[in-house]
């Protein structure tokens, strides 16, 4: 019975990530590309602060590795590294983030995502791949703006499925 429950929890979380992956690669018109929020990052942060015992660094790493393949990174593992760090920071701060009011949370999420973007760009520069510091700001800001709704939606999912 208990094993069944855990399995169901993990399947729910996996389904959330699955939808986030689809949203991440859904074709957008050229001009709208830069407005695409970091869906996978938001979902990962949510599950890290909501269930820090279930979704941890390891899951973040696997999610990053899948993104590596999905985005066809020049080298496998560069996004895996970044998302492992994102999961680590979120888990470390989960108690504090939970206490904050929704908009303050959004600011913390902004900072987390900017840190990750800087890490990703830094890795790209280290490996001498094309990288720009200019085109992620709008995406990160939009991620921050939609955080409250993402949070509410995912909390609904979590409560409905009784995941704790």
Q: In angstroms, what is the minimal distance from the CB of 25 to other proteins? A: 4
Q: In angstroms, what is the minimal distance from the CB of 82 to other proteins? A: 9
Are 83 and 123 in contact, with CB atoms under 8 Å apart?
Answer: no
Nearer to other proteins, 1 or 30 (CB): 30
55: DSSP letter: S
Nearer to other proteins, 74 or 162 (CB): 74
Contact set with other proteins (CB under 8 A): 18, 21-22, 25-28, 30, 33-34, 36, 56-58, 61, 65-66, 69-78, 80-81, 84-85, 88, 91-92, 124, 127, 129-132, 135-136
Length of the chain: 164
Among all chains, which residue has been given the structure tokens 């303050």? 104
Nearer to other proteins, 90 or 105 (CB): 90
Q: What share of the chain is helix, strand, coil (3-state, %, to 5)?
A: 75, 0, 25
Nearer to other proteins, 10 or 21 (CB): 21
Cα gap 83→60, rounded to integer Å = 5
Q: In angstroms, what is the minimal distance from the CB of 140 to other proteins? A: 12
Cα gap 58→70, rounded to integer Å = 18
């Amino acid at each position: 019975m208990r094993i069944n429950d855990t399995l169901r929890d993990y399947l729910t979380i996996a389904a959330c990530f699955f939808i986030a992956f689809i949203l991440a690669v859904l074709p957008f018109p050229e001009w709208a590309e830069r407005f695409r929020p970091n869906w996978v990052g938001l979902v990962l942060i949510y599950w890290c602060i909501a269930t820090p015992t279930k979704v941890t660094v390891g899951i973040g790493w696997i999610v990053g590795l899948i993104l590596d393949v999905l985005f066809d990174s020049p080298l496998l593992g560069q996004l895996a590294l970044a998302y492992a760090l994102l999961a680590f920071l979120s888990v470390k701060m989960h108690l504090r983030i939970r206490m904050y009011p929704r908009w303050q949370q959004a600011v913390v999420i902004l900072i987390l995502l900017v840190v990750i973007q800087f890490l990703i760009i830094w890795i790209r520069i280290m490996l001498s791949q094309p990288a720009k510091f200019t085109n992620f700001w709008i995406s990160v800001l939009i991620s921050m703006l939609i955080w409250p709704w993402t949070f509410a939606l995912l909390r609904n999912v979590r409560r409905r499925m009784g995941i704790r």
